[in-house]
């Protein structure tokens, strides 16, 4: 009887511990992410009308968006249930898997024009560069946390930079300049929040600036140079490199305070603005939902970033701090650049707007990152009072 009673007590305490752990689940993070994903589905809905099909028809942008949202929810829950501490153990294998997937994309990938971004396996398309963002967040967090005492040392900073170089080069060769810049932003943001020496970060920034002439001359392709130049004066080539920016500015400006209403945007429905469900989705959002709709999106992103950084500040270990910082840097950089290019203050680089841009790869990868954040949040040692 004593053994049975002891077993029952153990099960009871295990159950209470599980309830207590899931009681730390950050519901606000989920709410903000879900509302942003909902805004993305609204944009998929209106873009389905632009394509001339019913949003509920099989294969429409909206229907596929619903499917991707369902997959993203599953990915989030699986990542949240997984003990994030195992990621430290598998960080190096994940790094080499990441390099392998990016190399595979370069070898057999397909895309628009001369690009090699999508890999088709069993009839399904995968964009491994999106998954690479989350995997590199794991690798950077593991590197920094294992050298917590030497975070201000030059070796730690150079080592983190060396880790980021292969994926940056492989993605830039696809070519995908936007995603390669996201990796760089994650590196800087993670090192800064983790406490790296500002002096060495400044030296690194100076080295990057000094390398711009070389990059411009030997790395960037002609169309990429035109994109980078066009945001300074899009009217110089209104039918060429400046066309996207001009049409985007018209869409954003015509939305006014409250917008023209869902599916009523002329730039959208008359197909004046290219890639309006992906790179320039914010232009359509501003046109149809107006300044108020744009402000709602900004507030939701700010709230989400706040919750992400709360995970960082509450973390008991350096890995949690560094990983959360990497995800926050990834999200913030993508929002700033994507919105900036639609209003003409940033070059057009093809960076997606998280949750809003149509596409399963970006949404699922972001969901995985947020799921790991929840796993970190759930597994902290908290005071018993």
Residue 383 lies in a domain: no
Q: What is the pLDDT of residue 16?
A: 42
Residue 293 lies in a domain: yes
Q: Is the pLDDT of residue 241 over 70?
A: no
Residue 6 lies in a domain: no
Nearest to 82 by CA among 385, 380, 372: 372
| pLDDT tens digits for range 267-292 | 766 667 776 667 788 988 999 999 99
Residue 66 lies in a domain: yes
Residue 249 lies in a domain: yes
Q: What is the pLDDT of residue 8?
A: 47
Residue 120 phi/psi, 5-degree rounding, is -100, 120
Give residues with Cβ within 8 angstroms of 354, minimum separation 6.
36, 301, 331, 334, 335, 362, 366
Tell me which residue has tokens 């932003």: 185
Q: Which of 1-15, 61-75, 102-116, 259-273 has the lowest mean pLDDT?
A: 1-15
Nearest to 40 by CA among 329, 302, 366, 278: 278
Tally of domains in the chain: 1
Higher-confidence residue of 239 and 374: namely 374
Which domain does 213 fall in, by range? 26-378
Residue 385 lies in a domain: no
CB distance 360 to 118 below 8 Å? no
pLDDT-derived band at 41, boundaries 50, 70, 90 = very high
Q: Is the pLDDT of residue 260 over 80?
A: yes
| pLDDT tens digits for range 45-85 | 887 776 566 667 777 788 888 999 999 999 999 999 999 99
Q: What is the pTM of this model?
A: 0.88
Q: Is the pLDDT of residue 383 over 60?
A: no
Residue 7 lies in a domain: no
Cα(244)–Cα(215) distance, integer angstroms: 24
| pLDDT tens digits for range 136-181 | 999 999 999 988 878 878 888 899 999 999 999 999 888 788 888 8
Contacts 24+ apart (CB under 8 A), 76-80: 76/367, 76/368, 76/370, 76/371, 76/374, 77/371, 78/371, 79/367, 79/368, 79/369, 79/370, 79/371, 79/372, 79/374, 79/375, 80/25, 80/371, 80/372, 80/374, 80/375, 80/378
pLDDT-derived band at 195, boundaries 50, 70, 90 = confident
Buried b (16+ CB within 10 A) or exposed e, 335-365: bebbbbbbbbebbbbbbbbbbbbbbbbbbbb
Q: What is the pLDDT of residue 50?
A: 64
Residue 21 lies in a domain: no
Angle (deg, nearest 10), helices 198-210 and 177-194:
160
């Amino acid at each position: 009887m004593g053994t049975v009673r002891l077993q029952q007590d153990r099960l009871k305490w295990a159950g209470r511990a599980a309830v207590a752990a899931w009681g730390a689940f950050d519901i606000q993070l989920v709410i903000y992410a879900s509302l942003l994903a909902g805004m993305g589905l609204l944009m998929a809905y209106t873009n389905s009308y632009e394509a001339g099909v019913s949003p509920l028809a099989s294969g429409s942008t909206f229907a596929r968006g619903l499917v991707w949202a369902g997959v993203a929810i599953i990915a989030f829950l699986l990542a949240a249930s997984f003990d994030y501490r195992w990621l430290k153990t598998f960080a190096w294998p994940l790094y080499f898997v990441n390099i392998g997937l990016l190399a595979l994309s370069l070898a057999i990938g397909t895309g628009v024009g001369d690009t090699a971004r999508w890999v088709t396996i069993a009839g399904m398309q995968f964009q491994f560069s999106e998954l690479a963002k989350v995997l590199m967040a794991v690798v950077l967090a593991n590197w920094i946390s294992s050298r917590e005492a030497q975070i201000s040392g030059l070796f730690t900073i150079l080592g983190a930079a060396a880790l980021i170089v292969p994926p940056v080069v492989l993605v830039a060769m696809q070519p995908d300049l936007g995603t390669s810049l996201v990796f760089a932003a994650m590196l800087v943001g993670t090192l800064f929040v983790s406490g790296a020496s500002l002096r060495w970060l400044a030296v690194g920034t100076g080295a990057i600036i000094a390398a711009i002439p070389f990059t411009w001359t030997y790395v960037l392709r002609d169309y990429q140079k035109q994109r980078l130049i066009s945001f300074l004066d899009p009217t110089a080539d209104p039918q060429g490199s400046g066309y996207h920016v001009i049409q985007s500015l018209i869409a954003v400006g015509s939305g006014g305070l409250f917008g023209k209403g869902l599916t009523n945007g002329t730039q959208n429905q008359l197909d004046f603005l290219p890639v309006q469900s992906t790179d320039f989705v914010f232009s359509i959002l501003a046109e149809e939902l107006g300044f108020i709709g744009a402000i709602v999106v900004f507030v939701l992103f700010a709230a989400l970033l706040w919750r992400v950084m709360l995970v960082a500040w509450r973390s008991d270990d350096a890995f949690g701090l560094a990983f959360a910082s990497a995800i926050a840097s990834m999200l913030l950089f993508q929002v700033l650049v994507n919105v900036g290019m639609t209003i003409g203050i940033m070059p057009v680089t093809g960076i997606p707007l998280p949750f809003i841009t149509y596409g399963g790869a970006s949404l699922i990868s972001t969901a995985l990152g947020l799921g790991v954040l929840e796993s970190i949040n759930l597994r902290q040692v908290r005071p018993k009072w």
